[in-house]
Amino acid sequence: MSYASQGLFDALGPRGKRRSQIAGALTVLLVLAVLGFIVYQLAVSGQFSAQKWQIFTFPMVQQEILRTTVSTLSAFAGGAVLSLLLGVVLLLGRLSKRRAVSATFAWVTEIFRGVPLLILMMLMYYGLPVLGAEFITPYLAVVLSLMIYNGAVFAEIFRAGLDSLPKGQREAGEAIGLRDHQILAIILAPQAIRNMLPTIISQLVVALKDTALGFMVTYPELLYLAKFYGTQIQYGSPIIPSAIVMGSIYVVLCLILSFVAVRVEKWSSRAGNRTQMKEVAGID
């Protein structure tokens, strides 16, 4: 249903539609002009010359890019799983009926969310070994930092998702004698997850892109590799081509993750609709 049909604003007349079409066309032309100017400047500066792209034609380089992509996905996977688990733990702590526990977890969540991710990585990799944690590797520094920062963000996402549900849901569970953890697991969580899924996936996309900060702690991810190949003087220091190649890989990975998210969201919506139809029809 459109906003106009809901009465939020009047439908455009012939003159308004014409103006809207003209504005849209001008916007498209402006964007194309900017992109054309960028491509022209890249061509004039020699960024499309064969010398600058030659390095990416070597099989060894392509294999290294593939290995680095796997390393990036490995850090993302570890950080994503652990951050989701930490988000659940922080959420449960904030939902505690004990005021001291709830307040403590609230402060911890805000602190974790307030510290910049780059500073977390540097503290993990350069700070913890000074305190005796010699086992910290670049991989662990990246994964633990992603876990701490995104875990705090997920905790807030989960809390907002639960708060968005009608209060009658909890009251109905209490009326039939369910305990708090049963109400959360059986009634609230399944509904909240469907509502939160787009936001959760958006934050996972952010976490995937945040793995690029791992180059600051010498973790071999895509940005680290782009910096390495971009400084190869014998190939004309292909900084821009390296950024284009590695950036394109990030874009493809994010698009794949977004595609999976859309499919999961549609599946969960269909599953929820089927469940509601069965309940209305009285089918077990």
User: What is the distance between the alpha carbons of residues 220 and 161, in angstroms, rounded to a whole number?
Assistant: 36
Instruction: Give Rg (Cα) of the chain.
Output: 25
Residue 237, judged by CB atoms within 10 A of its CB (0-12, 13-18, 19+), counts as middle
Please state, in angstroms and as integers, the Cα–Cα distance from residue 72 to each residue in 61, 75, 210, 219, following that order.
16, 5, 10, 9
Phi and psi dihedrals of 51, rounded to 5?
Answer: -60, -40
pLDDT band at 275 (very low <50, low <70, confident <90, very high): low
User: Which of 33-37, 49-53, 209-213 comes out lowest in average pLDDT?
Assistant: 49-53
Q: Chain-wide mean pLDDT for the chain? A: 82
User: What is the distance between the alpha carbons of residues 155 and 158, in angstroms, rounded to a whole number?
Assistant: 5
User: Which of 18-27, 200-209, 237-246, 275-284 comes out lowest in average pLDDT?
Assistant: 275-284
Return the percentage of the chain with pLDDT > 70, whole number: 88
Q: What letter represents residue 242's amino acid? A: S
CATH architecture of the domain with range 53-281: Orthogonal Bundle (1.10)
Domain ranges for the chain, please list them.
53-281
User: What is the distance between the alpha carbons of residues 224 and 68, in angstroms, rounded to a whole number?
Assistant: 9
Comparison of pLDDT for 122 and 280, the residue scoring more: 122
pLDDT band at 82 (very low <50, low <70, confident <90, very high): very high
Comparison of pLDDT for 198 and 275, the residue scoring more: 198
pLDDT band at 80 (very low <50, low <70, confident <90, very high): very high
Contacts of 194 (CB under 8 A, 6+ apart): 265, 268, 269, 272
Does residue 256 carry a pLDDT above 70?
yes
pLDDT band at 258 (very low <50, low <70, confident <90, very high): confident
Does residue 62 carry a pLDDT above 50?
yes
For the chain, what is the largest distance between any 2 Cα atoms, rounded to a whole number of angstroms? 75
pLDDT band at 2 (very low <50, low <70, confident <90, very high): very low
Is the pTM higher than 0.85? The answer reads no
Contacts of 39 (CB under 8 A, 6+ apart): none
pLDDT tens digit sequence for 151-202: 999 999 988 888 877 777 776 776 777 777 777 777 777 777 777 887 888 8
Does residue 239 carry a pLDDT above 80?
yes
User: Which of 164-173, 206-215, 218-227, 229-238 comes out lowest in average pLDDT?
Assistant: 164-173
Residue 237: what pLDDT?
Answer: 81
Q: Of 119, 115, 124, whose CA–CA distance to 143 is shortest?
A: 124
DSSP for residue 123: I
Q: What letter represents residue 155's amino acid? A: A
Do 64 and 71 contact (CB within 8 A), yes or no? no
User: Which of 44-48, 72-76, 130-134, 218-222 comes out lowest in average pLDDT?
Assistant: 44-48
pLDDT band at 104 (very low <50, low <70, confident <90, very high): very high
Residue 141: what pLDDT?
Answer: 92
